Each structure stands twice: as C-alpha cells, then as structure tokens.
Structure 1
Amino acid sequence: MRQFFAVTVAFALLPNAWAQMPGVEMKEGMKSRMPTMPSELPRWMNSRGLDEIFYKRGPYNWAIDRIPAFAKDMYATGVGHAMAYEALVTGQANQLESKVFSKIDWVLQHPPSMPVDEAAISPRFVQKYGYLEKVFDWAHTLHFQTIDVFSHPGMTDAEKEVEIDRLWKFYQSEPYAITGLPMNMEYLDSFPYSMTFRTNYPKVNGLFWGYHWLQTVNYDMLYRVPVKDHVPQYEVLGEQYRTSELYKTDRDFMPMTAEMSPRFAKRFPYIANAFDNLHMLHDNVNDILAYPGLTEIQKEHQIKIAIYRVLETTHAGQKAGEGEPMTLHDHRHPPSIPGMGMMKGSEDDVMFMSGMGWMDMSECAHCSIALPEEGPWGATVSANGWTMMVRCMMCARDMAAETPGRAIIRAATEDENRLLVMISDEEGNWTSNIKDVVFLEVFGQHPECSSWSRAFTSQAAFEKFVQANPELKEIKPLSLEAWSKLNYGTPETYRKIDRPNPYRSGGGATPPSDGGSK
C-alpha cells in the first residue's frame, strides 16, 4: 500500500490568501482562485532525489533505432525540454526567445544519435524539482517502449498489442504513473497561471508543442504497419516536423494523441489519455515557472498540485465516461473518442481542431457521413501536419488532393492483417507498399461509399469480392495509376460546422470548481 503524509499549508486555510498576494491576479472572466494544496500527497513527492527505473525487459528495446532519423529527433526533444527548464530556474527566462531558443534549435537540427541524460543538462532544475522529473522520466519511458514494440520486426501485430498492454500494466505499477483516464483539457488549462508560457515565450512554446506533435503523430505511423514501411513514412513526417511543426506559434492548443494518431488512440485509449495528460502537465509546469506573481515556494506548491492532479493514484476508483464537468474527476470523453478528454467548447463528438476548425469526429472528414462501425474501418489521411479519418478510398484520395504537399494514406484492405500504406509526392503521384494493389470504385451515393470504394491486396482478392456481390460483376479493377487519376472533388454531403474559434472568440473560461483538490 502506498503511504501518504499530511501536508499542512497555512494559505490553504485562508480562502482569500492567494487573491490578496501581491502580483497574483485572477484571469479575466474567472472567479476561482489559485489551486490549493490537497490534504494528502504521496510521500515520494517530498523527496527531491531521482528514482531511475529502467525499461521493462524485452527483445524489442531500442528498436526505435531501426528508424534512425525518427530516433534522433525523439532523443533531441528531451534535450530541448531540459535546456528550457534549466533557463527558467536559473534566471535566464529573458533569454528564452533568443539565446536559449537558438541553442535548442541547433540541437533539434543536429540531433543526438543516442538518448541524453536530461539531468546532466538541467542539474539545477532536477535538484529543485526531482519529484517532477520522476513523473516525466517514467512517462517518457512508456513513450519510448511503446515505440520500440511497434518498431520491432520479430513480433506479429497481435503479439505487439498484447505486449503494449503488458507495458501499460508495468507503467501503472510505479507510483509516478499518470492516469489513463480522459481528463477535461479546458479544466486543466483554466487556472490563473494558464497560458502564461505560450503568451510570453511563443517561439519556445512552439518548439514544445512541436515535440508533442512528433510524440503523438508517430503511433499511427507504426501501429499495425509493416516494419519496412516505417522509414518511408517518416521521410514525410520528419520533414514536416523539422520544417514546419517546430516553428508554429499560432496553434490554439497542444496537439492531442487522438487527433494525430486516431487508430492508435481508439485501440489504446488509456495510453493516449496518459500521453495527453503528461503533455498537459508539461504545459502547467511551463506556465507555473513563467508566472511572475508566484514566489519560489509557491511555484513548488503549484507544481506539486499539478502533479497530483494527473496521477493514477489520484483517480483510483474513477471511471472513463463519468464525472461532473470542469472538475478534477471530469472523465467524460467524446462518444466516439475514448482516447481524448473533453476539449474547450466540445459537445459530444463535435470539437475544434487547430488548423482544421470544427469537426465531428464520428463522421468522415471528407463526406460528413458517419464512419462505419463494422467491417473495414476505411482510411486515414495525413497531410500538412494533420491526420483525419475517412470512410473510403475515394474520400482519402480526394481529401489528400485538396492539400498541397505530400500525403500519407493508411487504409484497410480485405485482409485485416495487411494495411495499405500509400505515400504521394508533391505532384500527387502515389506509391504503395502492396505491389499488386487494385481498387474498386463505382461512384454512387456517399452513404454507401465504403462498399463501392475499396482497396484489395490483389486482383484475385478483388474478384472474390465481386463474385460475392453480383451487382458488381461488370466492374473491372483499377490499377494504382488509374485510380490515382480520378478525383470527384468535395462531395455534396460535406457539411462545414460554422462556429467561432473557442480559443479566440474572447469568451472567458469557466472556472474550475475545486482547484485540483479531491
């Protein structure tokens, strides 16, 4: 049984203490005060020392190195985090957007070929916030081992899924584990200090959110995708990361796992939620360290509260899909996305996606028809930094054609164990990981598009399907070249959800009801 110690904090007994402190101002439109310390914290949180826990043993460890460019980019993200945190705790915050940014950017463009000990780069930060580093390190280990399993060539897809579930249990066995329950992202981003870092240091925050893009987009690149197809995909995603995603300063919110890797998040919602909660903890810590109205002691208290909010132990006994809105235990999620907590302004499956606008995540992103619940799941399209689910191959092709630049389509075939991966060049010419792929396309009513627009691993598989569907007996298979030349544009069924951007409409955030305490 984990042991706890009681923490008595004087200001916790004075409801107005935070509001009366010099330099601490409430955000416009908010009535809540600064979060107060819960009555109990885990004992380990009172220890500044590190607790180095090594990987779960397995033949797959370090398989990420089979994708060299990806491995290097991932190793560099830790260096970037460490440099920024060290600057924040050593009085160099005024250099974050200049000297520190340039140093981090150099590392990102010249990434290390092996993991780097972050404690060696940020000794003062680790000395001061060792308890926080335990949480970060343990979650980052889950990141890397999940990638390792998917990258390992010696396991079947089914074996990999079983091992990922074992990894999750291994992760949960330590007290530093972050909850896999969905949490309300608006709640976690609505404290008096929230948004300070992204407002004051947009370039460095852009790097941080760029890391989070990389750390979430990769899972659909890997999940149930043949190992030989990982490197070609990363040639596209890596270029997008290094030339664009790292330098975006106009994102409305951090990238979410279910946005970037919807297939992975649907299969492993608890891991997707844990990664989002981890990244939100990063944002909270950034904001606390950058908030000018807090003393050093107050920053330590707020960081401990932020850790407590997302720990597995804090939410013991809670269930996904339940909870009161805008509270610590708000574990609701969009009905079709158990791997994502509620977002600002979201209603059921309708949510705002930065760069895409309002989307109904239960519908095809191209034709707005409900995604099929059974049978072939359709496809995903990755282009220009986003990934969207679509119903059929026609929707995938035509949606990709609407976006300049290279694109990746990952699609179901008649064989559930053979995923089709197609990559386009700048001119829209497609290559396929399945040499003999052929396509069925009989343009008809969009509500049935998933039955008349499909991919097959061979002509024999196509003919077998046609024989089972006599109404298609006159239809001939399309080669990749012939299929690529077709384009039906935006379907008549597409509906654009026209609502204001909830992050920029000027509305005040609803204040959290409990400030992070039970």
Structure 2
Amino acid sequence: MNHKESTMRRRKFIFLLAIAILAVLVTDNGEVTALQQRNMVSYLRGPYNADFFYRHNEAFRVASAIHIAHGRQHDILELTPLSRHQETDGDTDAEYMRATLKPPRTEPTMELMGPYSAMSYFSLYRAIDWTHIHHEQTYDILSEKSIPWEEKKKWTDRAVRYYLDKFDIPRSPAPLDVTMRRAGVMMKPYTTLFRNYYPHSNNFFYAAHWWHPVIYEAMMVGGNGEKQDSMVRETDQTYFTQVLADRPQRMLLSRELMPRYSRLSPESANIFDNLHMLHGIAYDILTYEGWSAEEKKAELDRVIEAMSARPGDERLARKFPLPHPDIDPRNYMEWMKGTEGEMNRIMKEMMDEMMPMMMPQKMEPEMHEKIMAQFKMKLTPGLQEGELPGSLGEVMQAMMPEMKMMPESLQPGVAPTKMIDMMLRGWQEKYGGMADVEPLPMQQGPAIHQ
C-alpha cells in the first residue's frame, strides 16, 4: 500500500468514526444529546489509605458486594418491563445474595456493573462513586491504628472537606429532613414504585443500609485496638445470620444506627443518608415507565442537584435527633425491623405539610383516614392487601380527583417550587430552633455507653 492509499484509508476511517459517534449522540427526535461530564477525583492521600481493606477485608468485601448490587439494579430496571417485576425481583435478589455469600475481592464502580445506564445517567454514577470513595476513606481513618483516637475527628474532618470541595455534585452535609424536602419528590409519579414492586431487591438494600452504618459504629465502640477487630467481625456475623434473613422494612438512618459516629462527624453521617436516599429515588425513577430516558435523566439531574451540598448546609449538619444514642451495633433490635422510624417520620411530616396546599378545602375525616392508610401501605415494601396499584402520587390523585396538584409534580426535571417552599417552612417552624446534637468527646476514648 502506497502513502496516498494509506492516507485515504485513514481519512475514510476518521470520517466513518465521526458519523458513528454522531449517530450515537442523536436522539430519536433528531436532537443532539449533550455529552456528560466524566471527570472523577482521586483519593485523598493519608496514612490510612486502604487500611479498611487490609484490616477488615471480609467487611470490605461485603461492601463491595453491596455496591455490585447497586450498580446492577440500574440496568435491571432500565432493561426490564415493569410487567415482569415479580419474576425479576426474585431473580435479582438471588443474584445479590450469591454475590454477598461469595463477595468480590475489589470495589466495583457503578459503570462496571451497570454499563447500559451509564450511557444516559452518568451524573448519577459520578455522585454515587464519589460518595463510595468517601465511605472507604472514612472507614480507613477509623481502621488506622497509627492515628490516635483523639485525632480521628481531625482526619475525618479533613476527608469531609476534601469530599465537599473537590467535586461538583457532592451529597449534602445537611440532614435528610432538609434535603428530602428540597428534592420535592413526594407527588412525583414514580415515588414508592421500587419498594412496592421490587420488595425483595428493595429490602436487600435496606439490609445493606443497616450494615454500612453499624460497621462505623462497631469501630467507634471498638477503638483502635483488638476490640475493633472483634466488634466488626461480630457485627458482620449479625448481618449474615439475622439481618439478611429478616430484613428491615424501612431505610434506617445514620442517626439511628451510628449515633456515636453521627456525633463525631454529622456532616459525613448526613452525606451517607443523602446517598442512600438518592439510591432509592433513582430506582423509583428508573422503575417508572411513563418517561423517556431523556426525561428520566432530567429528573435525576434535578434530584441530584437538590440533594447536593449548598451554601449553609454545614450549619444544619447537627440538626437531628438521636433516638437510640447507646446502641450496640452487634444487636439487631426489634425497633430496627419495622416501618416506624426516622425516615418514615420525615415522610409523614412532609405529607402533613403538603396537604393544606393540595386540599385547601377541609377533608372529611373518613377520607383522611383512607388516605393515610394508603400512605402507610405505600411506605411499606411490597403490595399489601387493600393497597391501590401505582405510585404514592398516582394513588392520591385517584382517590381525590379534586386534589390540587402542582403541574410541576408531573413534569420531569421540574421542581414543584411552591410545595418545596412550604415543606421547608414547615421544617423551619418545627426544627429551626432545635439544639445541635452534642459532639462526641473523643479524648475519653471509646465506650459502649459513651
């Protein structure tokens, strides 16, 4: 082949490649999709890097199995019709349990396990993966024996600062009470779909979100020495022998399961709650079949931004109660298992705050009772006897056709601003003057009842 022929072939290849790329970027209606940001940030260097991996490798692998499941779930929902939810849910849960019982040896990214969804929703993956890095870094800090106990907070604060400052969409350090109201998802047409139609998969994640915080608490109770190793092992054992067999029926929050760590670093604790809630909202959106991929992306991006760090959020970081300040993370208590708890308290408050706007006329007591009965069923995983099909918002509209819905509630990527403002005012009235949760006196050393 002479030089001229070689040059022509290269030009032809480049031309065809450009056509192929353009074809990928053009949507069905002829619009060109915007390329999504794919830059990521590396670990913050410190004496603790990878210490959780080496010191608590079995626990590290449990986390990796959980993150495999998180990544897989996106593609399962995107590629599977809702009509097959029952069969898919059982198969998916079995797959997740196999990964849990034979966990991977390294941490997967979301794109590795959910490549199809990565093509449309990469901003979601960036938000998740960055916060998973924060998980690992903060586990590492507590694991590292060379960091004196009284200096754990200094190093954790450094990791929080890096997490918040070096990324464009970090999860907020404000409590979920605030960010859930900011997200404004309650009356969106997708809310509660995942927990109602994929209860086994949903409850696998509820169990996983029991495990993540109690591992922090096990290290907080164990201290730097050998007791930390036994505490983590025994807490892992509880997960395998009790929690996975009898899974929580709600998403448990950091303040409930890791009260000591929440006092040490409320910012970090809230970041994890906001990530775990983002998982659930994302799964609801991907379950919903009424929107296109572009519309789902618009809504995901809206929610991601609403639950991202904003100026002033750090001042709110300690505005939460501690309902169980002295828990032993090795014990799976009865109060952890049911639907009653902090997350659903927040949801109930939001519902109460929205109702005057949606139903300005007085509701009959009988109708209110029926509405709240359906509301409670919608917050419960699975479909209960007497529960109406569909999402929470769809059911409320069906029961009360006269209900005044904000038009934005039905639109993807649009915030129901009036509703959000009303809910935030409701939170401010109830909790704006709330005393900050007390810092943890680390100089006293770890103690089960500290």
What TM-score results when the alignment is normalised by the length of structure 2?
A: 0.62
The 3 A distance-change label for structure 1 pair 108 and 505 is closer
Of 297, 316, 321, the match for 2:311: 316
The 3 A distance-change label for structure 1 pair 506 and 49 is closer
Is the 2:207–2:247 contact (alpha carbons within 8 Å) kept by the matching residues of 1?
A: no
Report the equivalent of 1:190: 186
Q: Tell me the amino acid that sits aligned with residue 124 of structure 1.
A: Y
Looking at structure 2, the residues matched to 76 and 291 of structure 1 have their Cα atoms a distance apart, in angstroms, of: 26
Q: Secondary structure at the residue paired with 1:128?
A: coil
Report the equivalent of 2:212: 215
Give the superposition deviation at 1:210. Answer: 1.6
1:399-458 per-residue CA deviation (whole Å, 9 max, x = no partner) reads xxxxxxxxxxxxxxxxxxxxxxxxxxxxxxxxxxxxxxxxxxxxxxxxxxxxxxxxxxxx
Written as runs of structure 1 = structure 2, the 5 A alignment for 1:96-135 is 96-135=88-127
Is the 2:173–2:314 contact (alpha carbons within 8 Å) kept by the matching residues of 1?
A: no
Gaps in structure 2 of 5+ consecutive residues:
1-32, 336-371, 380-391, 397-404, 406-415, 425-450
Give the superposition deviation at 1:504. Answer: 2.9
Is the 1:183–1:332 contact (alpha carbons within 8 Å) kept by the matching residues of 2?
A: no
Greater relative contact order structure (CA < 8 Å, 6+ sep): 2
Written as runs of structure 1 = structure 2, the 5 A alignment for 1:203-352 is 203-223=200-220, 225-248=223-246, 251=249, 253-312=250-309, 315-318=310-313, 320-321=315-316, 333-334=319-320, 336-337=321-322
Q: Tell me the amino acid that sits aligned with residue 376 of structure 2.
A: R
| Residues 1:178 and 2:50 are matched in the alignment | no
Looking at structure 1, the residues matched to 149 and 268 of structure 2 have their Cα atoms a distance apart, in angstroms, of: 17
Of 137, 145, 149, the match for 2:129: 137
The 3 A distance-change label for structure 1 pair 503 and 146 is farther
| Residues 1:78 and 2:67 are matched in the alignment | yes
Give the superposition deviation at 1:310. Answer: 0.6
Report the equivalent of 1:381: 328
Written as runs of structure 1 = structure 2, the 5 A alignment for 1:12-23 is none
Between the two proteins, what is the percent identity of the paired residues?
A: 22
- Could you tell which deviates more after superposition, 176-185 or 58-67? 176-185
Is the 1:64–1:71 contact (alpha carbons within 8 Å) kept by the matching residues of 2?
A: yes
Q: Tell me the amino acid that sits aligned with residue 175 of structure 1.
A: D
| Residues 1:163 and 2:155 are matched in the alignment | yes
Give the superposition deviation at 1:294. Answer: 2.3
Looking at structure 2, the residues matched to 51 and 154 of structure 1 have their Cα atoms a distance apart, in angstroms, of: 33
The 3 A distance-change label for structure 1 pair 386 and 54 is farther
Looking at structure 2, the residues matched to 168 and 332 of structure 1 have their Cα atoms a distance apart, in angstroms, of: 15
The 3 A distance-change label for structure 1 pair 387 and 115 is farther
Looking at structure 2, the residues matched to 147 and 140 of structure 1 have their Cα atoms a distance apart, in angstroms, of: 11
The 3 A distance-change label for structure 1 pair 249 and 81 is same
Superposed CA RMSD: 3.3
Of 34, 50, 53, the match for 1:62: 50
Give the superposition deviation at 1:305. Answer: 1.2
Q: Tell me the amino acid that sits aligned with residue 165 of structure 1.
A: D
Q: Tell me the amino acid that sits aligned with residue 381 of structure 1.
A: D
Is the 2:78–2:287 contact (alpha carbons within 8 Å) kept by the matching residues of 1?
A: no
Q: Secondary structure at the residue paired with 1:274?
A: helix
Give the superposition deviation at 1:167. Answer: 0.5
Report the equivalent of 1:416: none
Is the 2:89–2:198 contact (alpha carbons within 8 Å) kept by the matching residues of 1?
A: yes
Is the 1:64–1:147 contact (alpha carbons within 8 Å) kept by the matching residues of 2?
A: yes
Q: Tell me the amino acid that sits aligned with residue 187 of structure 2.
A: F
1:223-282 per-residue CA deviation (whole Å, 9 max, x = no partner) reads 26124122211232112212333354561x201011111011012111111111111111
Looking at structure 2, the residues matched to 147 and 235 of structure 1 have their Cα atoms a distance apart, in angstroms, of: 15
Q: Secondary structure at the residue paired with 1:504?
A: helix
Q: Tell me the amino acid that sits aligned with residue 172 of structure 1.
A: L
Looking at structure 1, the residues matched to 111 and 377 of structure 2 have their Cα atoms a distance apart, in angstroms, of: 41
Aligned residues: 313
1:186-219 per-residue CA deviation (whole Å, 9 max, x = no partner) reads 6456233211100000000011112211111111
1:377-419 per-residue CA deviation (whole Å, 9 max, x = no partner) reads xx5434542499xxxxxxxxxxxxxxxxxxxxxxxxxxxxxxx
Looking at structure 1, the residues matched to 163 and 236 of structure 2 have their Cα atoms a distance apart, in angstroms, of: 28
The 3 A distance-change label for structure 1 pair 82 and 261 is same
Report the equivalent of 2:387: none
